[in-house]
Each structure stands twice: as structure tokens, then as C-alpha cells.
Amino acid sequence: MDFATIFFILVGALSVGAAVGVVTSKIAVHSALFLLVHFATLAILYVTLNAQFLAAAQVIIYAGGIVILILFVIMLIGSGPMETRAAYRSWVPYTGLALGVLMLAGISLTVLQMPSAPINPEANQGGVPLVVGLTLYSQNILLVELTAVLLLVALIGALLLARRPKTEESSVSGLRS
């Protein structure tokens, strides 16, 4: 194995480790910092794959904008250890599992139906935006739409997690005023 392959494997393992840290961390600030590390390692992987435009977009948009926005929100609403047990209705986990299986089936079907065209390394041209845009929005439009649906589901999930449960005191004080 050459140095480039070993470097790619090590950075990929660091990226996967940071992604696991995002999901398993119980402190929101730590989760956001793991997300920052994950985005940075993805940018490094993009550079090793000769996609400099995607690496720059990853750093500017995601690491520079989204993670900072998440940290500002955490600072505004406060952070503490997140409670892992929530009082869900009995059907909510099963609905989430069914929707996840449905999305996995849709992605699998899309991947199986994709044409196996030979890879042309000159078509990438270092990640030129025009080539990336034409490839994304002509050949891979279904994947872009599935990503949009995934982001919508994540937004709704974040809204549900951020909603505070009603307590008896707040409902009683609301009736008196």
C-alpha cells in the first residue's frame, strides 16, 4: 500500500469516528464540535479525490456556516446533558423505523438502477462547479431530491426534540392569566 491509500484510510476512519461522536455525544456542544471535525475530514477526503471545489464548499458552507450557527443556537438556548429516554407515544418509534426502512429501500433501488458507466477522470476537472452541477442535476437528480427529503425529516426531528413538554405548573398558570 502506498502512502496516499494509508492516508485516505486513516482520514476516513477519523471521519467515521467523528460521525459516531456526533450521534453518541450527550452534550450538545461536544456533538457540534464532533460535527465540525467530521466536516473537516470530509473536506480532506474531497481534496484527496481531486474535488477541490467540493472541499472548499464543504469548509465554507458546512464547517464555516452551519456548525457556527448550531453553536450560536446552543449558546442561546443553553446546553446540558441530553436525556436519552423520552416519553414517546407508542407508535412514534415504529413509524420512524418504517420510514427509515422505506427510505433505505428507495436509495437501494436508485443505486441498483444507476447505469454503470465507466468513470472518466477528465470529466471531473478538479471539481469545476459547472461539471459538478451538470452531473448532480442531470444524472443524480433523484439522489438530490432524497437528500432534500432527508434534510426536511432532520429539521422536523430537531423541532420535535427542541419542543419543551408542557408541565402542570405552566398549564395552570396559563389558565389564571
Domain ranges of the chain: 1-84, 86-166
Instruction: Tell which residue, 61, 47, 43, has the closest CA to residue 4.
Output: 47
Q: What is the pLDDT of residue 15?
A: 93
Q: What is the pLDDT of residue 99?
A: 85
Q: Virtual CA dihedral for 99, 100, 103, 108, nearest 10 degrees?
A: -140
pTM above 0.75, yes or no: no
CB 26 within 8 A of CB 39: no
Q: What is the pLDDT of residue 123?
A: 60
**Backbone torsion region of residue 173, taken as left when φ is above 0, otherwise alpha when ψ lies between -120 and 50, otherwise beta:** alpha
Query: Rounded to an integer, what distance in angstroms lies between the CA atom of residue 18 and that of residue 21?
Result: 5
CB 54 within 8 A of CB 127: yes
Q: Thinking of the domain 1-84, which architecture would CATH place it in?
A: Up-down Bundle (1.20)
Q: At 9, is the secondary structure helix, strand, or coil?
A: helix
User: What percent of the chain is helix, strand and coil (3-state, nearest 5)?
Assistant: 75, 0, 20
The pLDDT tens digits along the chain (177 residues) read 889 889 999 999 999 999 999 888 888 888 888 988 999 999 999 999 888 888 888 888 888 888 788 877 777 777 666 565 555 567 777 887 888 888 888 878 877 876 666 556 566 566 667 777 777 777 878 888 888 888 888 888 777 777 766 665 555 555 554
